[in-house]
Chain A
Amino acid sequence: MQHLVSSIDKQEDLPSQREIADKLGISRSAVQHALRHLQDEGVVSVKQRSGIEVNKKIDINMLGMQSMTAELGNQNVKIKHLSTSSVQVTKQLQNFFGSKTSQLLKIERIHCNRDKPLSYEITYFNKAEFPALEKVDFTNLSLYQILCDEYNAVPTYGKEDITCILADDRLAKALQVKDGEPLYQIESFNYQADDRPLECTRQYLIGKQFKYYFTANNIFDYQED
């Protein structure tokens, strides 16, 4: 039964429960059982009245050191450049950028898939180190690509914190979701090979559209290391 449902879920939206039951010649309760299962798995969202929504997910490698653009790796994904501004360093960011840094460049971007927003990103750079970025229009340009081309700067290691928040007015608007929609909030701090801080980014991703994964091979070897 669940197989049958997953074979239909290649479509954008599922037919109603009654239609599924009729189509497959099974009972409503069997359909409900299967849907509960798929809902548990995060494959679909079932909403009262509005029907069954298929949560198409984008897989992101949890251990990838790639830019969002590269992770998404999809031709349909476009980047909207919202703004670039100069801001004073905050206390938290000073810890990362070092006490000599005073001005930061703040770049706000949105990744969209067919005009539907997927993620909203705010990236900070040390202005003194990357002054030319202020002039760049990042529309459909990968940030990491530009850093590499213009500054030979490559993120080499870093740290990422993943939490969940509910969209407030501002985020709901930016991502075109309802107020209170669960979002991943990802803060990342990336360094270059010579230990210099490169950039720090706060990202908001629509929860039901992303799935993180990783594969660990030879796990018992890791343990022995």
Chain B
Amino acid sequence: MLFKNVYFDLNHKIANGFYSPGNSLPNENELQQIYGVSRTTIRKAIDQLVSEQKVVRKKGSGLFVRPTISKQNILNMTGIIRPTYLESSDKVKFKDTYLRLVGPYYADILGISANELLYYVSFKTLSSHGKSFEKLLLPLDNFPGFDPACLKVTPIIEVVNSGKFNLENVYQDFQLVEASAESSKQLNLKIGSPIFKITNLFSTADKKNVAIEYRMQDALNTEYSIDFN
């Protein structure tokens, strides 16, 4: 068997999830037996997968399918990529949608003039992670055809990517703040109770911020987990 065949077979098994991201591959000895080829052949196939960043060699511990980076887990968890609430669309409840002037604070973050218009959407979501109160801020100029109803079926990241700019990066911060009059009301908490506030800044390849999302949750009833690789 040629190294190309071994390579194609392994590549296929990684692509279809037979060997899943972050998990180990059989070691070189085992692969030799599976494919009935020489060590050199295996090594050549693995080398190619390593150079294509599909496989990671870890000294002393063997071969792994490259993890899809723990960031994705967080993005999933905090709802940017595939919020679980979208599985059933009636769990998004709109509170407010209107156009307003950006104002100096957001103008600064978005790098636009303070007199431009901004879509301001606030909504509540119910998911297995509990209740959260969210706000999405989109400059009208970037999102001329924005229809808030799409939030019921479209993940926020895709909504943000539907604007004039190509989305590339997300900066997220996570802090413990006191519930304001508004968030306490939306989350049924006392003013001043601790809430986890997540801020997502969506930006283009050249670091221009194109949208802002806030998510607030009752901190005493929310748990986040992070995996490190």
Contact = CB atoms under 8 A, between A and B. Distances in A.
B171 A65 contact: no
A164 B174 CA distance: 12
B21 A163 contact: no
Contacts of B167: 219-220
Contacts of B149: none
Interface stretch (A33-41, A68-76, A108-116, A135-143): A33-41
A80 interface: no
Given A158-B228, A164-B220, A222 B176 contact: no
Interface in A45-59: 45, 57, 59
Contact of B169 (A162, A190, A216): A216
B75 interface: yes
Given A2-B104, A3-B104, A40-B180, A163 B175 contact: no
A37 B104 CA distance: 12
Interface of B: 21, 58-61, 68-72, 74-75, 80-81, 103-105, 108, 157, 161, 167-178, 180-183, 194, 196-197, 219-220, 222-229
A223 interface: yes
Contacts of B220: 164-166
A165 B167 CA distance: 36
A165 B70 CA distance: 25
Contacts of B196: 164
B interface secondary structure, majority: mixed
Given A3-B104, A182-B176, A212-B174, A222 B61 contact: no
B194 A1 contact: no
A161 B29 CA distance: 37
A42 interface: yes
B79 to A, nearest CB: 13
A112 B194 CA distance: 23
Interface size class of A (residues with CB under 8 A): 35 or more
Nearest to A1: B104
B173 A160 contact: no
21 contacts: A37-B105, A39-B180, A40-B177, A42-B178, A42-B197, A57-B175, A62-B74, A62-B226, A63-B70, A158-B227, A162-B223, A163-B223, A164-B194, A165-B220, A182-B178, A193-B58, A211-B173, A214-B74, A214-B171, A215-B169, A216-B169
A206 to B, nearest CB: 9
Contacts of B182: 40
